[in-house]
C-alpha cells in the first residue's frame, strides 16, 4: 500500500537561543490552509506588537490564533507583514509544501535575542 498524507500542520515558535516555546499551532487538511493560517498569524503578529487584538469573525475551526508578541526595536513586524503579503514569498512557501519540504520563515529581534519562526509541513501519513 502507498502511504498518503492525511493532513498538514503549522506552528509558530519563539526562541531566545537557549529556550524554545510554541505559541500555537494547527492541523489542517491541505497545504493551502496551512499557508492561510501562517499568513494570518504573521499579519496578526505584525499588527499587534504585543497589544490585545479584537476578536475576528473568520476563524479556522481547527486552531486558535497565537498570542501577540512584543517586538523590541527591530524590523520584525515589517518583515512578517512583507512575508505575508508578498506573492513571491507565498509562492515559494506553497512550492516547498507541494514538494514535501517544510515552509519556514524566521524573523529576529536582536535587541532581546528573540527569534520567531513560522513553520508549515506535511502531517502524519496513513496507509490507503
pLDDT digit string, tens, across residues 19-77: 999 999 999 999 999 999 999 999 999 987 644 444 444 444 445 788 888 888 778 99
What's the pLDDT score for residue 91? Answer: 95
The tally of CA atoms less than 13 A away on the side-chain side of residue 46 is: 21
What's the pLDDT score for residue 108? Answer: 93
What's the pLDDT score for residue 56? Answer: 47
Strand, coil or helix: what is 34? helix
Query: Nearest 5°: CA angle at 79, between 77 and 81?
Result: 70
Mean pLDDT of the region 122-126: 65
The tally of CA atoms less than 13 A away on the side-chain side of residue 66 is: 31
Amino acid at each position: 500500500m502507498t502511504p498518503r498524507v492525511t493532513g498538514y500542520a503549522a506552528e509558530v515558535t519563539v526562541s531566545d537561543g537557549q529556550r524554545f516555546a510554541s505559541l500555537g499551532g494547527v492541523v489542517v487538511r491541505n497545504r493551502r490552509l496551512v499557508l492561510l493560517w501562517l499568513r494570518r498569524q504573521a499579519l496578526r503578529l505584525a499588527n499587534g506588537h504585543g497589544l490585545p487584538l479584537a476578536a475576528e469573525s473568520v476563524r479556522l475551526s481547527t486552531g486558535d490564533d497565537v498570542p501577540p508578541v512584543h517586538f523590541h526595536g527591530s524590523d520584525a513586524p515589517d518583515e512578517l507583514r512583507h512575508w505575508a503579503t508578498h506573492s513571491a514569498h507565498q509562492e515559494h512557501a506553497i512550492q516547498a509544501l507541494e514538494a514535501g519540504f517544510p515552509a519556514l520563515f524566521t524573523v529576529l529581534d536582536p535587541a532581546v535575542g528573540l527569534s520567531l519562526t513560522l513553520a508549515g509541513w506535511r502531517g502524519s501519513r496513513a496507509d490507503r
